[in-house]
């Protein structure tokens, strides 16, 4: 059975899990806007789609290539 | 990633479109880089929490990541300023009443 | 720098370089003392009847680094807020206004949007759930190949003895692998989402950042449902064997469900 584990305790105390929320999510204000908050708009943000890069493709190809040297059970 | 084919395939869209595309691509790559750094930071905290590294190790590696993050954010914010503002993006804050109401939407 | 004071404010300095660090927007002033925040400055609120911003002074004007002590201070304030406030609309780390007036302007110019957003997340928190592949053998890529015999064939053609794959061929192959990984992640994500159905109000599937990350979910969970979610997640874990780990964290303010970007209107590029 999979290992099921809670990170950071009941009040979410650890920082590991919350750091990407704090740094990247929530209300974001463009840096230069902070000085003059008049005449600006607030927009909802759609989730960003992550684009794979050529480096990723090459890395995946190599990683799978390496499995060729290990014994592989034939797929069912 | 922005591919030359994309640009060649749209010959009538003009230079502004190309610049916008370049800016979007650069922005996407920078944001991807920022996510990677944030992910590394998260891992670092986890290693500290589970006792795999010492506080000292953490501090050292944290500094490296934070500097990287700062560089990426500077690049991201610089780009946004050029796209949206007519003048220099304002870096300083808190210089008094004259600031208020000073910016007009383009 | 204006000398308008907000309720409960204890500004550390009257100098023009005092900034105001923003933590979150809440519908009402918390009834408890929120303690200290960044750099040990006292946390207070600015605002009017139905909207308050939770802040602390930040006398130093340089950019605030997301180092551990600052992140911990920020998170501690949010944590206390989450316990005591009916709705917490969090700012991302490092949001600083140039003064109390700037904050009031922010509230005034976006009053309705903020009210609406607060209403949407009233009583809600965020829990994160993450599925990772932890076994070393078979590796995750071997696990992937077991589900994709066509990739095994391509692999053998490209990497078998005597072959010499070109960079282009590798890239094409890598794309096929990436597609397969994407599909696999999507399937696992759905599996977990289905296991949580009925116990969470909403789910967002976030991009996976490491190769062995197979699913990353942000779940919108009623505060009252958080405790009851644990056994559900345990149950969801039974759907995976011991090559996997299912980790969860929270509750947090609903960061992923309150993504607002305050920006200037787009310059018209013609």
What does the pLDDT look like over B30-41, one tens digit per residue? 888 888 899 899
What does the pLDDT look like over A29-76, one tens digit per residue? 876 554 444 445 566 666 566 667 788 899 999 999 988 876 545 455
Asked if residue B13 is part of any domain, the answer here is no
Number of domains in chain B: 1
Task: Quote the domain boundaries for residue A23.
Answer: 19-66
The arithmetic mean of pLDDT across residues B75-104, rounded, is 42
Residue A41's SS3 state is: strand
Around Cβ C220, how many Cβ atoms within 10 Å? Answer: 19
Asked if residue B47 is part of any domain, the answer here is yes
Token pair for residue C141? 């890529």
Give the B window 39-98 contacts with C, CB below 8 Å: 39, 41, 45, 58, 62, 66, 69-70, 80, 83-86, 92-97
Q: Å from C162 to nearest chain B CA?
A: 33
Q: Å from C267 to nearest chain B CA?
A: 5
Asked if residue B91 is part of any domain, the answer here is no
Residue C160 phi, psi dihedral angles, 5° rounding:
-65, 170
- Do B105 and B85 meet the contact criterion of CB atoms below 8 Å apart? no
For residue A76, what are the contacts with CB-CB under 8 A and spacing of at least 6?
Answer: C146
Task: Quote the domain boundaries for residue B61.
Answer: 27-78
Distance CA C64, CA C92 (A): 12
Residue C37's SS3 state is: coil
Find which of C93-107, C218-232, C251-265 is predicted with most confidence, using mean pLDDT. Answer: C218-232
Residue C178 has pLDDT above 90, yes or no: yes
Number of domains in chain A: 1
Asked if residue A71 is part of any domain, the answer here is no
Asked if residue A9 is part of any domain, the answer here is no
Distance CA C183, CA C144 (A): 10
Find chains touching chain A: ≥3 CB pairs under 8 Å: B, C
Which of C178, C158, C160 lies closest to C168, judged by CA? Answer: C158
- Choice between A15 and C190, residue whose per-residue pLDDT is larger: C190
Residue C121 region by backbone torsions, left for phi larger than 0, else alpha for psi between -120 and 50, else beta? alpha
Query: Cβ separation of C67 and B66 shorter than 8 Å?
Result: yes
ipTM of this complex prediction, to 2 decimal places? 0.80
Distance CA C41, CA C12 (A): 8
- Do C15 and C59 meet the contact criterion of CB atoms below 8 Å apart? yes
Token pair for residue C13? 């300095």
Range name among B15-19, B101-105, C30-34, C47-51 with the lowest pLDDT average: B101-105
Range name among A7-16, C153-162, C225-234, C240-249 with the lowest pLDDT average: A7-16
Distance CA B93, CA B74 (A): 16
Find the closest chain C residue to A7 by CA distance. C249
Query: Cβ separation of C98 and B39 shorter than 8 Å?
Result: no
| pTM, two decimal places | 0.80
Token pair for residue C207? 């991009």
Tell me if chain A has a CB within 8 Å of the CB of B66: no
Q: Which of B34, B85, B93 shows the shortest C-beta gap to A34? A: B93
Mean pLDDT of chain C: 87
pLDDT of residue C164: 83
Which of A59, A4, B48, B39 lies closest to C177, judged by CA? Answer: A59
Q: Which of A22, A45, A63 shows the shortest C-beta gap to C75? A: A22
- Do A30 and C263 meet the contact criterion of CB atoms below 8 Å apart? yes
Around Cβ A32, how many Cβ atoms within 10 Å? Answer: 21
DSSP for C142-162? HHHHHT-HHHHHHHHHHHSTT
Q: Give the CA distances from residue C205 to residues B2, B43, C72, C193, C219, in Å, rounded to whole numbers and listed in that order.
A: 26, 20, 26, 9, 9
What does the pLDDT look like over B21-64, one tens digit per residue? 777 777 878 888 888 899 899 999 989 988 899 999 999 999 99
- Do C223 and C121 meet the contact criterion of CB atoms below 8 Å apart? no
Q: Å from A75 to nearest chain B CA?
A: 34
Q: Which of A17, A24, A54 shows the shortest C-beta gap to B1? A: A54
Token pair for residue C242? 């011991």
Residue C128 has pLDDT above 80, yes or no: yes
Around Cβ C67, how many Cβ atoms within 10 Å? Answer: 14
Indicate the pLDDT class of residue B104, thresholds 50, 70 and 90: very low
């Amino acid at each position: 059975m999979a290992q099921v584990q809670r990170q950071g305790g009941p009040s979410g105390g650890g920082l590991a899990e919350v750091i990407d929320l704090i740094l990247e999510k929530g209300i974001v204000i463009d840096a230069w806007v902070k000085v003059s908050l008049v005449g600006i708009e607030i927009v909802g943000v759609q989730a960003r789609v992550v684009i794979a890069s050529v480096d990723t493709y090459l890395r995946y190809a190599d990683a799978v290539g390496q499995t060729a040297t290990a014994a592989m059970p034939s797929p069912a | 990633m922005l591919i030359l084919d994309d640009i060649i395939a749209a010959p009538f869209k003009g230079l502004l479109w190309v610049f916008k595309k370049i800016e979007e691509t650069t922005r996407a790559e920078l944001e991807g880089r920022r996510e990677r750094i944030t992910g590394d930071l998260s891992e670092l905290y986890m290693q500290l929490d589970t006792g795999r590294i010492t506080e000292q190790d953490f501090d050292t590696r944290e500094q490296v990541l934070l500097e990287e993050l700062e560089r990426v954010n500077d690049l991201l914010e610089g780009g946004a300023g050029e796209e949206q503002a007519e003048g220099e993006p304002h870096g300083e804050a808190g210089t008094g009443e004259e600031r208020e109401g000073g910016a007009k939407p383009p | 720098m204006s000398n308008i004071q907000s309720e409960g404010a204890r500004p550390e300095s009257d100098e023009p370089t005092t900034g105001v660090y923003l933590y979150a927007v809440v519908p009402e002033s918390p009834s408890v003392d929120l303690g200290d925040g960044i750099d040990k400055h006292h946390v207070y609120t600015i605002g009017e009847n139905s909207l308050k911003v939770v802040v602390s002074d930040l006398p130093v004007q340089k950019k605030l680094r997301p180092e551990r002590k600052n992140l911990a201070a920020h998170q501690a304030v949010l944590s206390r807020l989450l316990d005591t406030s009916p709705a917490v609309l969090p700012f991302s780390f490092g949001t600083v206004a140039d003064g109390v007036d700037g904050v009031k302007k922010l509230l005034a110019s976006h009053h309705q949007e903020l009210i609406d957003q607060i209403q949407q997340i009233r009583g809600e928190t965020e829990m994160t759930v993450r599925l990772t592949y932890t076994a070393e053998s078979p590796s995750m890529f071997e696990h992937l190949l077991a589900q994709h015999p066509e990739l095994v064939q391509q692999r053998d053609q490209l990497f078998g003895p005597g072959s010499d794959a070109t960079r282009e061929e590798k890239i094409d192959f890598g794309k096929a692998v990436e597609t397969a990984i994407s599909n696999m992640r999507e399937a696992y994500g759905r599996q977990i989402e289905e296991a949580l159905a009925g116990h969470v109000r909403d789910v967002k599937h976030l991009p996976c950042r490491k190769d062995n990350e197979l699913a990353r979910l942000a779940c919108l969970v009623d505060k009252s449902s958080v405790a009851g979610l644990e056994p559900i997640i345990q149950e969801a874990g039974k759907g995976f064997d011991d090559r996997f780990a299912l980790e969860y964290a929270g509750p947090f303010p609903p960061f992923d469900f309150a993504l607002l970007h305050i920006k200037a209107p787009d310059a018209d590029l013609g």
